[in-house]
Structure 1
Amino acid sequence: MEVKENSVFHNKIKIPLAIKEYLPAIISFIMLAAGILTEYFGSMFFTNKVQIIWYGIAYIPVGWPVIKAGWNTIKRGDIFTEFFLMTVATVGAFAIGKYPESVSVMLFYSVGELFQGAAVRKAKGNIKALLDVRPKEAHVLRNGQYTLVSPESVGIGETLQIRVGEKIPLDGVLISEKARLNTAALTGESKPQSVVEGEEVYSGSINLEELIEVKVTKEFKDSSISRILDMVQNATSRKSKTELFIRRFARVYTPIVVYLALALTIIPFFFVDEYVFSDWLYRALIFLVISCPCALVVSIPLGYFGGLGAASKNGILFKGASFLDVIAKVKTLVFDKTGTLTKGVFEIQEIHAISGNKKELMSYFKAIEGKSTHPIAKAISDYDMDIDQFKVSDVQEVAGKGLIGVVNDKKVLAGNLSLMKGNGISVDEKTQNIEKSVVMLAIDGELKGYVVIADALKDDAKATIIGLKKLGISHLVMLSGDRESVTQNIAQDLQIDSALGNLLPEDKLKEVEELQKKSKHKLAFIGDGINDAPVLALSDVGIAMGGLGSDVAIETADVVIQTDHPSKVIKAIKIGRSTGHIVWQNIIMALGVKLVVLILGAGGLANMWEAVFADVGVALLAILNAVRLQHMRWD
C-alpha cells in the first residue's frame, strides 16, 4: 500500500470528497450488517443464495478497487503486493463460505485507507500550508503608475508598492522610511519585525501598518518563499534509510508468505490422516491476511511525513526524511560563532575614560567614527548622543588600524593599539593587555580613553547550550574566525566544552574532519555564512542558521532553521528523536503481533477475525500512533 493523499477508492467522477471517500465503506457496512442479520435471524425466510447476494453486494464497493489495484500492479510486473494478498485471501474465503470474514477484511482495509488518507492530509497540510503564503500578484511601478502584474514578470531593480495587509511578493530593499512586517510564514515567529529604509525585506512577509515601497533585488524564482517551498516539496520525496529498508523488506517478505501459505495448504495432505482441504485452505487464507505488510508500508512513511510536517510548523526545514534519522543520533555539535551564537552586530560593551569624562570621550568618538562605514565604527557612531557642535575634517582611514582626522581643530586618532603605537601615543600596560576588542581614542597626542566592542550573544544562546546538554549532546564545540581571546571569552560565558579562534574556512574544515574521526557518533555543524558552506557539506548534518541568511549556506545545508534562533536546534533534535521512536514502535508492534497471530493461524488457533486485527487493526493502531507527532509539543 503506497502512502498517497488519495486512496485507491478515489475515481474521476466529480463528486464531493466526503461522499467519494466514505460511501463505499458505508454501503459495504450496511450490506454486511444485512447479510449477518439475514444469516442469524432470517434463515426461515431467506435462502442461502439470498445471503450470498447480501454479502456479494457488501464485498464489491470495498473489494473491487483493491482487486483492480492488484491487477494493475501485476500488469506492471509487480505480482506480490498487499493488493494481491488481500484479493487471494478474501476471494478464497468467499469460495469456502466464510462470507462475513471475507467482506470484513476488505471493509476494515477500506476503513484503514480512510484513516490513512486523513492522517496523510493532516501531515502534508502542515507542510503545504506554505503554499498559501506565496504571493499571487504584485503592484509594480511602470510608466509612472502602479500596475497589477504576476510576480514572475517583475524584474530586478523594479519598484513595488505593498499595501497594508498585503504580502511582499519578491525579496527586495525597503525604500520607504520604515515598515512593520509579520514574517511568521518565513520564520515561524509571530512577533512583528520592524524594518527601516535600506534594510532587506523578504517575500511572504505581510505589511502590517502603512503603505510601503520596495526595490526588487531577486527574481520570483529565487525569492525566499519560493526557495523554502522548493526545499519542503523536495523533502517529502527523499526517503529515510528505515523507510527504504521496509519497502525492500516488503518486496522480499510478501512472496515468501505467499509460498508458505501455499505450502500450508498442500503439504499437510501428505502427513495428516484426516486431511480436509477447506480447513487447511482457510488456515492458509488466514496466514495471507495476517502477513499483509500494510501496517509497515503505511505507518512508517506516515511517521516521517508527520515529522517533516511538525518541523515545518516550527520553522525548521529538513531537506529529506533521512535527516530526521541522522539528527536524532547527533552527539557532537559544532557551532560557528558570528551570526550563529552571536548577533553578528557589534555593540559597545564598556566605556572607559582615562582623561576627561565619558561624555567628552564619546562625543569625539562618535564624531570621527561617523565618517567610516566599518562595522565597528558603526557600533560607535550609533551611540545615542547629540554631537551637532562637532566639526570633522581631513579624515583618513588606516587599513586594519583605525582613523586619523581633525575634530574641532584637534588631531584625533581612533583605533587599535597598533595605530596608537605607530603615532607615538603612550598606552599603559593594563590597557594593552585587555583581552577584548578595544578601540582607543587619542586627542592631540594624549590617550583619552577606550571603548570595548563586542559581538553580542543572541538572547537564546545560553538557553541553547543548556538545553543541548540536557538532551545528552556530549560534545559542544565552537569554531570562529574571530580572535582567539574573544572566542575563548564567549565559550567560557556559554560553558561550551571547547573553542578555537583565528580560523580560516579551510581550518574549520580540518577541525571538523578531525572531530569526525574521533567521534563514533554523528556530528552536526551549525553556521550561517558563505564561509561555512564547506563544513556544512562535510558534516553528517549541516544546519543553516536563518532561512534568510546566506544563499550558499542554505543550499548546502541539510536542515534550514528559518529564524536566527539557535534554540530551534533543540526542537529539531527532539522532533528527529520522536519521529524515530514512533517509527520503531510501529515496526515492533506490527511485526510482533503478526508473528504471534501467524503462529496461531498456522496451528488452527486463530480465525479470520484475529487475522483482520493482526493486519488492518494493527495498521490502524500504527496510523494513530504516527498521527501523535502532529500534536506533540517540543517547548
Structure 2
Amino acid sequence: MEEYKVKGLTCANCTRELQEEINRLPSGETATLNYNSGKLRIANTVDMEKVTKILSSDGAYIETDQFEQDHQHEHTHHHSKVNWLTILSISTIFYFAAFFAENWLNEYVAIALFLAATVLSGYQTFIKGLKNLVKLKFNIETLMTIALIGALSIGEWKEGALVAILFGLNEYLEGLGMEKARRSVESLLKVAPKEATILENGEEHLVPIKSLKVNQIVLVRAGEKVPSDGVIIEGNSSVNESAITGESLPIEKSVNEPVFGGSINNEGLLKVKLTKAYNDSSLAKILHLVEEAQETKTPTELFINKFAKYYTPLIMVISAMVMIIPPLLFNGSWGDWFYQGLAVLIVGCPCALVLSSPIAIVSGITKNARNGILIKGGVFLEQLGKITTIAFDKTGTLTKGEPHVEELIAYDPAFLQIAASIEKSSSHPIAKAIINEARNIPLIELDEITAYSGTGIVAKGNGTTYYLGNEKQIQHLALPDNVQIDLQRLKDAGMTVVLLANESTVLGMMGIADKIREESAAIIKKLHGLGISKTVMLTGDHEKTAEKVAKKIGLSTYFAGLLPEEKVKKISELSQKGKVAMIGDGINDAPALATADLGIAMGKGTDSAIETSDIVLMQDHLGRLPSAIKTAKKVNSIIKINITLALGLKLIALLLTIPGLLTLWIAILSDMGATILVTLISLTVLYEKKTNDKLQA
C-alpha cells in the first residue's frame, strides 16, 4: 500500500464519495481516503492518473512534488484560500451592487450583476452538479445545481445569487474548520528533528534522523532536540521532555541517564549513545499513533455516515412531494410550491451533520497528545468519556513502587547504623530503603555477611553476631511482650517488618511499605467529582496493605491477593455493571488491560505500555488522567450538541414549508448556520483553558 497526503478535502461527505469512486477503480477496492487526516492509502497497482482525476473533480489534489508539478494547473485556483476568499468577496460586492442598480439604474443591469455573482461564486458547484446529474449521482452539488437552475428559471435572481454566495462561504468555512484541527495535529508532529549530528572517528557528520542506528553517538547542543532514544555518556543538562510526557518543567539529566527522542537539551553539550533507531523510538511511535488515531471512526461517526447516505435521497423525495402534492390535492400555486420544493432541496445538504463529529474528535486527540496522553483512536476517546468505573493496579500506579521505611522502632541506639551497615552492599529494594533511611549515619565495617533465602542475613562484627530479616530469622529468641505488640501493630498496618537482633536481644524493627504517590488521593477525589462512580484497586499484595492504601487515598473498594487471571475475572465482573477502564503498567497487567472496556497504561514511553493499551499516560503519575477524562466528556457532549444543532436547524427549516414560509436563503442559512456553529463549538476543545493537572495530595 502507498500513502499520500491529500489537500483540498473540504467536506467529509464529499470525501466519502471520492473514496467510493476510487474503490471502483481496478485494484482500488482497498483504498481509503480519510477526511480527518487528509491521507489516501492505496495499492500501488492502481492507476494514479485516474485517482488524480477523481480527486480534482472535487478540487482535491495529492501533495507530492511530482503531482504538484504535473497537475498544478488543476488545483492552483481551487486551493488558494486567498483566491477563494477573493472570489466570495467580489461576488458579494456584485450582489450589493445589483441592489443599487435595481433601485437607481436598470433592472437588466441588476439581473446581470446577480447572475455575475451567482456564476462567480457557484460555477464550480454548478459544473460538479451537472456532471453528477449525468451520472445520476445525487449529492450536495447536485442538489445545489438543481436549486440554482430552478431559482433562475422562475426569475429568483436575488435568492439564486445569495444561495450561491452563502453556499460558497459555507464550503470555505467548513474546510477552514477541519484545516485548523489538522494544523493542530501537524504542529504536534513537527516536534521531531529532521537531522542529527553523529560523531564518528572524532568527526562530526550531519545526517537525516531516519538513517540513525543503534549504538551511534550523537551530539546534542544547547537548544537542539535529542534525535532518538538513548543514554547520556558525557555531559549533564536540564532536558525538556514535554513532547513525550506533556510535563513542562525540565528534568536534570547526567551520565548514564536515559533521554527521549524529541526532548530538548536546555544547556550544555550532551553526548548520547542511541539505544533505538529513530523509527523504533518513543517519539516515532507517539507520532505514528497520533496520526493513526485520527483515522479511526467512532460508532457515532459510522452511524452518521450511514445516515447521510440515505438522508439526501430522502430529502429529494420530500422536495418532489412538496412541489407536487399541494398543487394537485390542495389547489396550491405551482410556482409557490415549486419554489418551496427548491428550498427543501437545499436543506438536503448533510455536511453539517457529517462534520458534527470529526473536528471535535481530532481536537480532543490532539489536546490530549499535547499533554502526554496518547489516545489510539476516536473510538477510545469516546469510550473514555463514558467510563463509570476505573480499576487500578497498586504498585507503580497508586504507589511509587519504591519501598521506604514508614516506621522505625529502635530498642538500641545503634540499631539503624548496624542494619544499614549489613545492607550496604545489597541491591534488594528493601535494602535500598534501609540504606536511604540511614543516609546521614556513618556506617561500620562487618567481618562476615551471609544471606539466607526467605529469611534474611546473618552478619558478624566486633565479636557479635547479628540477625537481620523477618521473624524466621530470630526464632532463637523469645520475644518480650512489648516487642510482640510492636511487631503485630506493624503487621496489622500492612507493613513488611524487618527486625534486627543479636544473640540475646532484639535491637529494633522497621515497617517497610510502598510509598503512596503524593497526588493519588487528590486524583481519586477529582475522578469521583467527574462522575466516576467507582474506583477499585486490584492488587496481588496482601489484605492489610491493600486496605491501608485504599483507605488512605479514598478508593471505593479494593481486592487483594489477586493473581493476573483473577484480576481478569474481577474486570469481567465489574464490566457487567458499567463501562470499566483498567490502569496498570502495561507489562504485568496486560491481560486485565486487554479485558477492560478501556486499557490505560502508565509508563513514560515504554514499548510495552504503548503496545498493550488503548490509552497511554506518558508520565510516571496519574496527574493528567482527570484532564483526559474531562476532555473526553467534553468531546462527547459537543458531538451530541452538534448533531442536535445540525438536525434541529434543518427540521425547523423543513417545518417552515407547512405554512409556506421556507425560502431559499433561509434554507441555505440553516445549513450554513449549523456548519459554522458545529465548527466553532468543536474547536473550543483545543482552546480550553490550560490548568496544572498534576495534583498534590
Same fold, judged at TM 0.5 (above): yes
Tell me if 1:149 matches 2:215. Answer: no
Deviation, 1:584, is 1.1
What CA distance in whole angstroms lies between the structure 2 residues aligned with 1:288 and 1:121?
Answer: 28
| Corresponding residue SS for 1:175 | strand
Cross-structure match for 1:397: 451
Which residue is equivalent to 1:364? 418
1:35 to 91, 94, 98: 98
Residue of structure 2 in register with 1:413 after alignment = 467
Displacement of 1:601: 2.5
Give the deviation of 1:562 after TM superposition. Answer: 2.2
Distance change >3 Å, CA 575–CA 274, structure 1 → 2: closer
1:473-488 equivalences in 2 (<5 Å) = 473-488=532-547
2:521 aligns to what?
462
Q: 2:36·2:358 contact (CA, 8 Å) conserved in 1? A: no
Distance 1:337 1:268 in 2: 70
With a CA cutoff of 8 Å and minimum separation of 6, indicate the structure with the bigger relative contact order: 1
Distance 1:400 1:111 in 2: 76
Per the normalisation by structure 2, the TM-score is 0.83
Distance change in 2, residues 1:575/1:261 (3 Å): same
2:519 counterpart letter in structure 1: D
Residue in 1 that maps onto 2:588? 531
Does structure 2 conserve the Cα–Cα contact (< 8 Å) formed by 1:536 and 1:553?
no
Q: Does the 8 A contact of 1:441 with 1:447 survive in 2?
A: yes
Q: Identity percentage over the alignment? A: 35
User: Is 1:375 paired with 2:438?
Assistant: no
CA contact (8 A) 2:235 2:268 kept: no
> Matched residues in 1 for 2:222 and 2:409: separation?
46
Q: Which residue of 2 aligns with 1:350?
A: 407
Query: What are structure 2's unaligned runs of at least 5 residues?
Result: 1-10, 13-34, 39-55, 61-73, 692-697
The answer to whether structure 1 residue 498 and structure 2 residue 548 are counterparts is no
Deviates more, 1:436-445 or 1:2-11: 2-11
Is the 1:425–1:442 contact (alpha carbons within 8 Å) kept by the matching residues of 2? no
For residues 148-167 of structure 1, what are the structure 2 equivalents within 5 Å?
148-167=206-225
2: distance between equivalents of 1:588 and 1:611? 17
From 204, 211, 227, the equivalent of 2:285 is 227
Match of 1:298 among 349, 355, 366: 355
| Post-superposition offset of 1:475 | 1.2
For residue 397 of structure 1, report the CA deviation from its aligned partner: 3.3
Alignment partner of 1:340: what SS? helix
The 1:195/1:448 distance shift into structure 2, 3 A limit, reads farther
Distance 1:394 1:559, change over 3 A: same
SS of residue in 2 equivalent to 1:346: strand
Distance 1:144 1:384, change over 3 A: farther
CA distances 1:596-629 after superposition (whole Å, capped 9, x unpaired):
2212125421212211221112221222222222
Return 302-311 or 239-248, whichever deviates more: 302-311
Structure 1 counterpart of 2:119: 60
How far apart in 2 are the matches of 1:417 and 1:262?
Answer: 90
For residue 382 of structure 1, give the secondary structure of its aligned residue in structure 2. Answer: helix
Distance 1:426 1:67, change over 3 A: farther
CA RMSD of aligned residues (A): 2.7
Report the CA distance shift for 1:191/1:409 in structure 2 as closer, same or farther (over 3 A): farther
AA of the residue aligned to 1:583:
I
2:18 maps to none
1:160-195, Cα deviation, whole Å (9 max, x unpaired): 322221111111223336432111111111111123
Tell me by how many angstroms 1:634 deviates.
Answer: 6.8
Counterparts of 1:562 and 1:263, CA distance in 2: 57
Distance, in Å, in 2 between the alignment partners of 1:4 and 1:511 is 37
Give, in whole Å, the separation in 2 of the partners of 1:72 and 1:504.
Answer: 65
Instruction: Give the gaps of 5 or more residues in structure 1.
Output: none
**Aligned counterparts, 1:144-293, within 5 A:** 144-176=202-234, 178-273=236-331, 275-276=333-334, 278-293=335-350
Paired residue for 1:332, among 380, 385, 389?
389
Deviations 1:259-286 (A, max 9, x none): 221232233443244643x322211110
**Structure-2 separation of matches of 1:274 and 1:71:** 30
Deviates more, 1:51-60 or 1:130-139: 51-60
1:464-483 Cα distance to aligned partner (Å, 9 max, x none) = 11111112221110011223
The 1:30/1:384 distance shift into structure 2, 3 A limit, reads farther
Paired amino acid for 1:450: M
Cα pair distance change 1:72/1:311, threshold 3 Å = farther
User: One-letter code of the match for 2:514?
Assistant: D
| Superimposed CA distance per residue, residues 30-80 of structure 1 (whole angstroms, 9 cap, x where no aligned partner) | 22222232223322xxx52x43432333223432332455567779x7823
CA distance in 1, matches of 2:342, 2:353: 20
Q: For residues 468 and 270 of structure 1, do their structure 2 counterparts lie closer, same or farther at Cα, with a shift above 3 Å needed?
A: same
- 1:109 aligned partner: 167
